[in-house]
A and B are shown apart, each in its own frame.
Chain A
Amino acid sequence: MTIAVAPGVVAGMMRADPGADAPTHSTDLSSFVAEGPGGTRHMDLAVENITCAACIDDIEGGLADLDGIVGARLNLTTHRLAVEWQPGRLDPADILARLQRIGYRAHPFEAGRAEVEEARQSRTLLTALAVAGFAAMNVMLLSVSVWSGNATDITPETRDFFHWISALIALPAAAFAGQPFFRSALAAIRRGRLNMDVPISLGVLLALGLSVVETINHAEHAYFDSAVMLLFFLLLGRTMEHAMRRRTRAVAGNLAALRAPTAQRLDGGSVTVVPTRALVTGDRILVGAGDRIAVDGLIEDGRSEIDESLITGETDRRSVGPGDRVHAGCLNHMGSLTVRVTAADGATLLDEIERLLERAGAVRAGYVRLADRVARAYAPVVHLTALATLAGWLLAGIGLHDAVVIAITVLIITCPCALALAVPAVQVAAAGRLFRAGVLLNAGDALERLATVDTVVFDKTGTLTLPDPQPVNSHEVPADLLAVARRLALSSRHPLARGLQAIGPEAIPYEGVAEQPGAGVSALVDGEMLRLGSLAFCGAEALAPAPRASDGQGDPTASLIAVQKGERRAVLRIHQMLRPDAEETVTRLRRMGLSVQILSGDRSSAVAPIARRLGVEAWRGDLTPAGKIAAIEGLKREGRSVVMVGDGLNDAPALAAAAASLSPVTAVDLAQAAADAVFLGDRLGPVAETIAVGRRARRLMRENLGFALAYNLVAVPVAIAGHATPLVAALAMSGSSLVVTLNALRLSRRPAAAAASSAPRAAAEIRS
C-alpha cells in the first residue's frame, strides 16, 4: 500500500495522519467547535512558529480571503488564534489547511477549566486593584490635606468633612477590593489555621472601624488611608503573581495542544481522526507506523514492534501481535495495528503508577511553606502584643477609649504588608527569570524546595538523552544531502526520522511526498528523485559503513538510514544521543555542591556507558517504578534532599516522591503534572539554572522576611508608646513594601555569565 501525502489536504493533522487523501479519511474537529454569536461557529487554535509582529498580518490576512470567514484574531501574547466562520460555507479543516499553506502549523485548542477560571480571577483581581488604587489616591489626597492642616490652621469642621468623604470612599472600596483577603482568611480560620491573610484582614477591618469611631468623635486622626493603601499594595503583588502564573499556564496549554492527542477511529470502513478524549471503550483505532498509541487497548489485528521507553525506560523494542495488551504512550515502530480500546481495569501499568503517585504525593504535602511558617509564628505574637498593650495602658489608667485606640494602632502598624509581599515578590521575579530561561514553574513553593536539595537524580532515557534519536555522523554527509534528508523527514512518520526533522524557516515539507511503509519516503522535485529511508530503498547498501567504536558515538546498535538525491547517496547513522550540554551540566551541578546520580528503567548495559561518560559513579539500571521510589526513599533516609529529573511514566511516582522535581517538555503528561517545573528545549542546562535561581530566591525571601520583621521591631515600640500617627503608619508601610519589592527585583538582573547561551534558544521555543 502506498500512501501519498497530498499537500495541505488536512494540514495540521499532517503528522498524525499523512494518509488523509484517501476518500474514507476525514477529520472530526467538531468537539473543538463552539457556537459563536449570531449563528456563527467559533474555534480556538494554538499556533506554532509565531516569531514576530508580521505574523498577525500574515495569519489574519491569509484567513480573511477564505470564503465564509467572519473574523480571525491572533493573540500575540498567548499565540492563540480565535476564528469565527459561517457554518456550512467552510469546513474547520480548511482553516488548518490554509494556515499550513502559509507556513503555520495550528492545533485545535480548548482552554482547560483551570485556565478559564484563572482568566476570570485575573479580571476580578484587576478590577479590585483599580478600585483600591482609585480609593488610595483620593483618600491620600484628603489625608495629606488633613496632615498639613493639622500642622497649620485647618478648622475642625473641614477636617471632619474630609474624614467623612474619606470614609465614603474607603468603606465601599475596602468592602469590594478586600474580598480576596477576607475570603482566604475566613477559609483559613474555618480550618483552624492561621495564614498571612488573617492579620491582614484583621488590620484592615480594625483600621476602618477605628477610623469611623474616631471620625464620629471629631478626632484629629483617622486611618482610612492606611487601610486602602495596604489593600492596594497587596493587590498589586497578588495581581503580578497571578499574571505570571497565567502566562506560564498559557504556554503549557499551547504545548499540550501542539502535541495534539488524536487517534484514527475505524467507523465501519472509514477512518476518522478524532481527539483522543472522544474515544470510548470498545472503539477500534488504527495505529500507523510511527504513531504513538493514544489509549490502553488490546491488539486485534497486525504485528509490530513497539517502543515502551516512555513507560518503562527500556529502549529495546517489544514484538507484539493480536491479543497483546498495549499501553497509552507506546510508540508503534513497524506495521499498522488495529487496537480495541479497553477501559482501565485496575490492572494496567497506568493504574499501578497512579496508586504509587497517590502515596508519593502525600509525602510531599508535609512541606510547610516559608511564608506560612512565618505567619504561624507571627500572627499570635502580634495579637498578644496588642492585647498586652491594651492591658498595660488600662492599668496605667488612661481610660478605655484611649487604650483601645493605642492597641488598635499597634495592630495597624504591624499589619504585615511587607511580610505578605516578601515571598510573592521574590516568586514573581524568579518565575519571570526562569520563564525567560525556558523553565515553566508548576508550583509556587517549588523554589523553596529546590533551594534545599543536595542530590540530583536523573532518569536516563529522554532526560539525559535526547527524546528522539539523532544523526551522529551529520558532519560526514554533504550539506545539500543533509538538507534534503531534513526536509524529507518532515513528511515521514518513522520514529527514526523524528530527530532528523528540520526546524526553523526552512522547515517546509516537499510537495507530493509518497511514503512506503517499512521502506521510506520519496518525492520527485525538479526532475530529481529524492529519497529517505532504508539502505535498500535508496540503493545505498554499498555505502553501509563498518561499525566503528572509535568516535565515541560509534555504537554498533546505531540504526542506518540513507538519503538519495538524483544519483548521489549518503548514509546517516541514527543513535540515542546525550543532550548536547549533558556533561557540562553535570559538571556545573557538581560545582554547585550537588551529588549526581542516575536511576534508570533501562537495562544496566545501556546505562553504564552513559554514566561512565558523564563521570557519574552512583547509577542503577533495571529499576521498576516502585524500585525508583524505594531508591529515592533510601536517599531520604540517608538525610539527603533529592531533586528528581525524569520524563517517563515510570518516573512519575519518583517525581512526586522527591523533595523537588523537573521534567523536560517531551515528558508524558503524568510526569509533567507530577513535576514542579517543566523545561523546554534540547539542553539540560535549565536544570542547573533552576536550582541556582531557587537558591538565590530562597536567600532573597529570607532577606525580605528578615527586613519586614526588623521594620516591625522598630515600629512596634513607637506604636505601643502611643506615638504612631496615621502619617507614620503610611510612611512605614509604603517604605517597607517598596524596599521588599526592590530587593526581590534584584533576582531579574542577569548575572554576568549564566544562561547567556541557552536563553535565546529557549525564548524561541517559548515563542514557537
Chain B
Amino acid sequence: MNVLVFLVPLALGLGLAGLAAFVWSLRGGQYDDMEGAAVRMLSDDDLRAR
C-alpha cells in the first residue's frame, strides 16, 4: 500500500503537467485558427525565406 503514497501524486503531477501545457498553448493563441493550423504544414514557407 505504501507504493500508493508516491504513485498517486506522481500520476496527478503528470496530469497537472498536461493541464499546464494545454493552458499554455491556449494562452499562446494556438486554438485561434484551427483550420489554418491544419494546412500550414503543407506550405513551403521555408523555401520562401531563402
Contact = CB atoms under 8 A, between A and B. Distances in A.
A165 B4 CA distance: 11
Given A134-B16, A138-B12, A56 B36 contact: yes
B26 A77 contact: no
Contact of B33 (A76, A137, A157): A76
A134 B19 contact: yes
A87 to B, nearest CB: 24
Interface in A139-189: 141-142, 155, 157-158, 161, 165, 169
Interface string B2-38: 0010001001100110110011001100011111100
B15 A137 contact: yes
Given A61-B48, A137-B15, A126 B31 contact: yes
Contacts of A157: 1
Given A75-B33, A127-B23, A130-B23, 16 more contacts: A53-B39, A53-B43, A56-B39, A74-B36, A75-B36, A76-B35, A77-B33, A77-B34, A78-B33, A123-B26, A127-B26, A130-B22, A130-B26, A134-B19, A157-B1, A165-B12
B2 to A, nearest CB: 11
B15 A134 contact: yes
A351 interface: no
Nearest first, the 6 A-B pairs at minimum CB distance are A76-B36, A53-B39, A75-B33, A76-B35, A134-B19, A77-B35
Nearest to A122: B31
Contacts of A56: 36, 39-40, 43
A78 B22 CA distance: 22
A74 B45 CA distance: 13
Nearest to B5: A161
Contact of A155 (B1, B22, B40): B1
A434 interface: no
Contacts of B19: 130-131, 134
A335 B45 CA distance: 49
A60 B1 CA distance: 59
B4 to A, nearest CB: 7
B26 to A, nearest CB: 6
14 contacts: A53-B39, A53-B42, A56-B40, A57-B44, A61-B48, A64-B48, A76-B36, A130-B23, A131-B19, A137-B15, A155-B1, A161-B4, A165-B8, A165-B12
B32 A169 contact: no
A126 B18 CA distance: 14
A56 B4 CA distance: 51
A123 B4 CA distance: 35
Contact of A158 (B1, B16, B44): B1
Nearest to B34: A77
Interface string A47-60: 00000010011001
Contacts of A76: 33, 35-36, 39
Contacts of B18: 134
Nearest to A137: B15
Contacts of B8: 142, 165
Contacts of A77: 32-36
A665 B45 CA distance: 36
Contacts of A134: 15-16, 18-19
Contacts of A74: 36
Interface in A66-116: 74-78
A545 B11 CA distance: 84
B12 to A, nearest CB: 6
Contacts of B22: 130
A77 B35 CA distance: 6
B15 A138 contact: yes
Contacts of A131: 19
Contacts of B31: 126
A127 B19 CA distance: 9
A162 to B, nearest CB: 8
Contacts of B15: 134, 137-138
Nearest to B27: A123
A146 to B, nearest CB: 13
A575 B33 CA distance: 42
A123 B33 CA distance: 13
B44 to A, nearest CB: 7
B3 to A, nearest CB: 11
Contacts of A75: 32-33, 36
A74 B37 CA distance: 11
A398 B8 CA distance: 37
A141 B44 CA distance: 45
A393 B31 CA distance: 51
A595 B38 CA distance: 47
